[in-house]
Amino acid sequence: MLKRILGLLGWLGVALVFAAVAIRFLKPEYQQYYNGLAIAGLVCTLLYILSQWREIGQSFSGRQARYGSLAAASVLVVLGILVAINYLSNKYNKRWDLTAARQFSLSDQSRKVLQDLKEPVRIRVFARSQEFERFRDRLDEYTYHSKQVNVEYIDPEKRPALAQADGITQLGTVVFEYAGRKEKVTSDSEQELTNGLIKVIQGRQPKVYFTQGHGEKDTVSAERSGYNSIGGALTSDNFVVEKLVLAQATEVPADADVVVIAGPRTDFLAPEIDLLKAYLARGGKLFVMLDPVLKPDSPQPAQLQALLKDWGIDSPNDIVLDVSGMGRLIGTDESVPVAASYPAHAITQEFSLLTAYPLARSIAPIEGGANGRTAQKLIETGPRSWAETDLKSLSGGQPAKMDGSDKPGPVSLGVAVTGPATNAPAPKEPPKPGETPKQVEARIVAIGDSDFASNAALGVQGNRDLFLNAVNWLAQQENLISIRAKDPEDRRITLTADQERLIFYLTVLIVPGLVILAGVQTWWRRR
Amino acid sequence: MRNVLAIADKELRSYFASPIAYILIGFFLLPFGVFFYLYLSTFVKQSLQMAQFGGAMNVNQQVIRYVLQNASVIILFIMPMITMRTYSEEKRSGSIELLLTSPLTDVEIILGKFFGALGLYIAMLAVTLLYMAILFVYGNPEWRPLVAAYLGLLLMGGAFISIGLLISSTTSNQIVAGVVTFVVFLLFWIVGWFADTAGPTIGPITSWLSITEHFDDFSKGIVDTKHVLYYLSLITFGLFLTAKSVDTERWRG
């Protein structure tokens, strides 16, 4: 009876393994099921084999025992030797890249960085499972060149806790961890990866300055309108957050990676604007958040608006209203425009969360750009929104409605712009021959609202991530080294429709058919 | 050595004297051709689209690599049918007694059967070279990564054959040998899936065990000593166990 059950177990194991394979192909998303099935199948098969071993064991008794134990011992010795060989060959392997472009080989610069590694580096790749191969093609070479490198591949959809622990907001992020420090890279190119490695080894923390003196949001205030949550988020993202009183400064500090102007209530003075202009000319990064002026008679921040205009950014005097009802989902009214889809830009790449902007003004690119700088839209409201220019009637308490002078939705709420630095500091070392000299770039992100990142509004899903993405994009340090991308050689195939059809018949029908025909012929002859 | 070749020759002849070899190769080529055509036609379409953007399109990395990776899975399905009869057939018909009492050594017999099956497998791969030739007619692929990939296929096939030989030597029933071989191959393949979800200690071990995983680098055009040694170890171990299994037959009577 027991024997029959054990016999069934063997077949059950086989069936389970087959089922696991079938599910793997038909429904790849059911990973937990097919993994479970495969393990169950493995266990059943092992049990079956064990049950058969009892019989084998019986034959080992008596006269044959000596042979049996000798054989078993020799098997163990051979197995041990082979495992040892493989263990060593995994540690001291040699690779030859046979592609003509040597596309899987690392450049000398990367190899040098890897060979100088003194402490272990842990690399975690957060991407969809199907994307792992793209990163593996590159990172396998990093582990080959240094035993200190350890790579882990994590699918955030399957292991969300790990992704959360590293604060991953974007798929395709690579986290470098070295001596307790972290550095994130969102690319699989050798240049970006090696630069991320260098940065995490050097351990420089980028500095973010928040301007003070015009009623801007305060990074230590815990009030509803305060910024201490977002300040904490920046700190945990490896930034140093400091305050900057421009009126007392002679220049923007040289170590500033990003300067944030978070919702000033009064306009900047001309000397302050000059400091910012000089900062941008040396390749500075500026994050401007301008709130709408609600009292119709109060002055607009004209100086800041003029600075933005210089960079191709239009910031008209209006307030954006949104009657789509989407705001009701998060408990707000039409004065809080909501964005759910974003024009393509590095900041909002793979970003699909809802963001909400309490009391916002529209910020849009100027058609055709200004001074050769063209801004790109980042955030757009839905179609059932508009930019209300008649602030007087609004403050008079009349219900808002769209009329002729208003700009219909979708309304742009935020833009980003880059431009070459006109007065970049000279590089410390002259570029090596064959390398292009590094382009220093100034960047500006402008958003028509500062409240979206305040303590009160950070509850909205995407607000925090959008703010951090914007600062991260701005703070992207200039690459420390430049590596020419090794693209595979261009070896394409062009076929006419006829040729393609010919290949189809040849490969799918004719060749296999001929071979099978030959088989039938042999069979016929043998009869 | 001469004895080994003689047995290998006899084995190979017996494959091709019956329809088995043709049927197996034919059924291998059918899905291989479908994969080949699908990857190629997608690649041709992408080439047309990329013509406007100027990105690099590489037939080695975008067609050959994936076709051969898929081929490694088809081989996994076909191989049990090649190896299942090697020993089981002789055991069933009783001709194993003749072999065991002949002046040939066990090692010679095992190697002979191994190279015989390998010969059939090489014939199978040789036909796929026709498909690669199509790529050379209409395009300009690199030949060196292709050599690396076929070296990998050869080593991987050898590993499959040595395991199949071992399983075939333990039973006189061809069907049982085939099914068990198939399941063992599947298990060797499946363990690789756990690599990404298992922890940092188990993960590398499972991906190291997976037979097909070691082929991935070959398919890219990379030859790595660790993969070569893995396959050679597996072949050695499989053949060694087969020898032990045949030997056991002798002293168990």
A121-126, strands of its sheet edge to edge: A149-154, A121-126, A173-178, A181-185
CA distance A456 to A223: 8
Cis before A430 (ω within 30): no
Chain A contact set for B138 (CB, 8 A): 493-495, 499
Q: How far is A238 from chain B (nearest CA, A)?
A: 26
Interface ipTM: 0.85
HSE-CB of B109 using CA atoms within 13 angstroms: 24
Residue (of A478, A415, A477) closest to A445 by Cα position: A415
Does the CA dihedral A245-A249-A255-A257 come out positive or negative?
A: positive
Q: Decide: A99 and B144 in contact? Cβ < 8 Å.
A: yes
Chain B contact set for A14 (CB, 8 A): 179, 183
SS3 helix, strand, coil % of chain A, rounded to 5? Answer: 40, 15, 40
Q: Decide: A138 and A172 in contact? Cβ < 8 Å.
A: no
B40 CB within 8 Å of a chain A CB: yes
Size of the A and B interface in Cβ pairs below 8 Å: 202
The closest CB to that of B221, out of A18, A97, A140, belongs to A97
Q: Decide: A302 and A491 in contact? Cβ < 8 Å.
A: no
Place of tokens 């395991």: B163
Query: Per-residue DSSP letters for A395-414?
Result: HTTPPP---TTSEESSPEEE
Is the pTM higher than 0.80? The answer reads: no
- Contacts of residues B133-140 at CB distance under 8 Å and 24 or more positions apart, as own/partner, are B134/A503, B134/A506, B134/A507, B135/A493, B135/B40, B135/B59, B135/B63, B135/B64, B138/A493, B138/A494, B138/A495, B138/A499, B139/A491, B139/A492, B139/A493, B139/B59, B140/A491, B140/B59
CA distance A183 to A173: 10
Q: Does the distance separating the beta carbons of A522 and B19 come in below 8 Å?
A: yes
Q: Does the distance separating the beta carbons of A45 and B22 come in below 8 Å?
A: no
Q: Decide: A475 and A239 in contact? Cβ < 8 Å.
A: yes
**pLDDT tens-digit profile, chain A (527 residues):** 666 777 777 788 878 877 887 777 776 667 667 777 878 887 887 777 777 665 655 555 555 666 777 777 888 888 888 888 888 888 888 899 998 888 888 888 888 888 888 889 999 999 988 888 889 888 989 988 888 888 888 888 888 888 888 878 788 889 999 888 888 888 888 888 888 888 888 877 888 999 988 888 888 888 888 888 888 888 877 788 999 888 888 888 888 889 999 988 888 888 899 999 999 888 889 999 998 888 777 788 888 898 889 898 988 888 888 887 776 766 677 788 888 888 888 888 767 788 888 888 999 998 887 788 888 898 988 888 888 887 777 666 556 677 777 788 788 999 999 888 777 766 555 555 555 556 778 899 999 998 888 888 877 778 888 888 888 888 876 566 667 767 777 888 888 889 889 999 999 999 999 999 999 998 888 87
Tell which of A152, A492, A526 to mutate to test the B interface (max B CBs under 10 Å).
A492
Rg (CA), chain A: 32
CA distance B130 to A504: 14
- Angle in degrees, CA B200, B216, A135, rounded to 5: 55
At residue A305, what are phi and psi to the nearest 5 degrees? -60, -40
E-assigned strand segments in A252-335? 258-262, 285-289, 313-314, 319-322
Residue A372 identity? G
